[in-house]
């Protein structure tokens, strides 16, 4: 006897349509079993490039230092002479944009050097495909602190034709998106660039750590980084050493001359700071750019007020010292004090005597009247 259920038809008895449905269901079931047995429970990460070992996290990677804070080494090289190097070297290196034309170029970066004609085309753009970064994304929703772990970003391919405009544009767009999502770095504003240029003009031998500490001491949690003071603006959250280094190395020829870079490529950054920057630009387009003359006048007024306050403090100090120098005499006690004679004292005494005599006369008169009344009553009775 066959143990096949009566309601289960044989393959020969099935119609072609039913047979196709059964074959598809069996194939899907076998595929699910194969995936469950071969793939792990969690999604595996892409392995790093060959020959590159990712180091463990470092305390000084992804930090926002302030003056007087800890440093990996107290002696740091000059940013101008070392091309923004630090000691020891930082892990993150965001490198540069890709250029259309040829795989080998003369220089990296948006600004051409002065000796451009004498440079050979020996720089390989394929070296820019692998970018070491510091992951600054929050750990989780409950813990917003950054991870600060090193990783490698790779696009996974390279253009076949380096002169193809769409390919190079797509490569640069993916690069920007990967860097922005990983580093969570706010876009640079005009005020920040001008302040960095002023620091390099005032301190030519400053290191990257010096520039970062001065920048955070100026802006982080203290001031706005936009030229408009509308409610959508927030206080600066500071910059990491990697952010300052990337900004300086990208526009090094301009910063070395003490000038902020102009005509910087605008990008749509969808972070909170990026939205604030776009809103600030819309306000500037509506109301006009700020006036340099008004800024200078405002700065002069602040300097004059500060000098007046300083002069006032000096005067107060002089008054305090003069009061301290004066000798203080003890106030006499009440028992030792002598009441001075008054010229009207005799008149007051005479007036008091006259009032007393009048009261005495009135009293005697009232007593006499009462005795007369009593005597008349006694006579009548």
DSSP track, 285-332 = HHH-PPPHHHHHHHHHHHHHHHHHHHHHHHHHHHHHHHHHHSPPPPPP
| Average pLDDT score over residue span 147-165 | 90
Q: Cα–Cα distance between 244 and 209 in angstroms, integer?
A: 9
Least confident range of 51-60, 202-211, 312-321: 312-321
pLDDT tier, 79 (very low <50, low <70, confident <90, very high otherwise):
very high
**Tokens, residue 17:** 């349509």
Q: Which of 13-27, 176-190, 279-293 has the highest mean pLDDT?
A: 176-190
Q: Cα–Cα distance between 203 and 212 in angstroms, integer?
A: 13
Q: Cα–Cα distance between 182 and 240 in angstroms, integer?
A: 13
Model pLDDT, residue 318? 52
pLDDT tier, 297 (very low <50, low <70, confident <90, very high otherwise):
confident
pLDDT tier, 139 (very low <50, low <70, confident <90, very high otherwise):
very high
Of the candidates 219, 206, 213, the residue with the CA atom closest to the CA atom of residue 71: 213
> CB of 103 within 8 A of CB of 125?
yes
Model pLDDT, residue 44? 53
DSSP track, 251-291 = THHHHHTT----SPPP----SHHHHHHHHHHHHHHHH-PPP
Q: Which of 27-31, 197-201, 262-266 has the highest mean pLDDT?
A: 197-201
Q: Express each pLDDT in 140-151 by its tens digit.
A: 989 999 999 999
Model pLDDT, residue 157? 80
Local structure of 152: helix, strand or coil: strand
> CB of 215 within 8 A of CB of 200?
no
> CB of 96 within 8 A of CB of 84?
no
Residue 248 clears pLDDT 70, i.e. is over it: yes
Q: Cα–Cα distance between 252 and 274 in angstroms, integer?
A: 23
Q: Where are the domains of the chain?
A: 91-184, 186-304
Least confident range of 141-150, 153-162, 208-217, 355-364: 355-364
Q: Express each pLDDT in 101-126 by its tens digit.
A: 999 999 999 988 888 888 899 999 99
Residue 331 clears pLDDT 60, i.e. is over it: no
Q: Cα–Cα distance between 225 and 233 in angstroms, integer?
A: 8
Q: Which of 4-8, 34-38, 209-213, 368-372 has the highest mean pLDDT?
A: 209-213
């Amino acid at each position: 006897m066959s143990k096949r259920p009566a309601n289960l038809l044989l393959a020969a008895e099935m119609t072609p349509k039913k047979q196709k449905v059964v074959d598809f269901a069996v194939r899907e079931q076998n595929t699910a079993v194969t995936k469950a047995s071969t793939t792990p429970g969690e999604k595996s990460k892409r392995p790093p490039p060959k020959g590159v070992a990712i180091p463990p996290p470092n305390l000084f990677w992804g930090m926002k230092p302030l003056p007087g804070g800890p440093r990996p080494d107290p002696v740091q090289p000059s940013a101008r002479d070392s091309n923004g190097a630090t000691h020891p070297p930082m892990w993150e290196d965001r490198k540069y944009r890709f250029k259309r034309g040829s795989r080998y170029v003369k220089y990296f970066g948006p600004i051409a050097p002065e000796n451009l004609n004498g440079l050979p085309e020996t720089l390989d753009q394929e070296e820019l495909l692998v970018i070491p970064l510091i992951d600054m994304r929050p750990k989780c929703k409950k813990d917003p602190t950054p991870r600060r772990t090193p990783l490698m970003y790779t696009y996974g391919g390279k253009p076949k034709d380096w002169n193809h405009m769409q390919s190079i544009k797509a490569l640069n767009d993916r690069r920007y998106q990967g860097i922005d999502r990983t580093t969570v770095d706010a876009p640079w504003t005009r005020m920040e660039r001008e302040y960095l240029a002023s620091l390099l003009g005032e301190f030519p031998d400053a290191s990257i750590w010096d520039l970062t500490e001065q920048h955070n001491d100026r802006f982080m949690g203290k001031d706005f980084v936009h030229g408009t003071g509308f409610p959508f603006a927030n206080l600066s959250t500071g910059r990491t050493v990697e952010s300052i280094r990337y900004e300086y190395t990208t526009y090094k020829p301009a910063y070395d001359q003490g000038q902020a870079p102009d005509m910087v490529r605008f990008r749509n950054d969808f972070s909170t700071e990026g939205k604030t920057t776009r809103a600030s630009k819309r306000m500037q387009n509506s109301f006009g750019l700020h006036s340099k003359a008004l800024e200078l006048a405002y700065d002069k007024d602040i300097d004059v007020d500060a000098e007046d306050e300083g002069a006032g403090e000096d005067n107060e100090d002089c008054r305090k010292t003069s009061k301290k120098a004066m000798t203080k005499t003890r106030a006499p006690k009440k028992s030792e004090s002598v009441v001075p004679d008054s010229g009207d004292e005799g008149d007051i005494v005479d007036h008091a005597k006259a009032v007393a005599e009048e009261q005495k006369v009135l009293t005697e008169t009232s007593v006499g009247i009462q005795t007369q009344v009593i005597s008349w009553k006694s006579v009548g009775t």
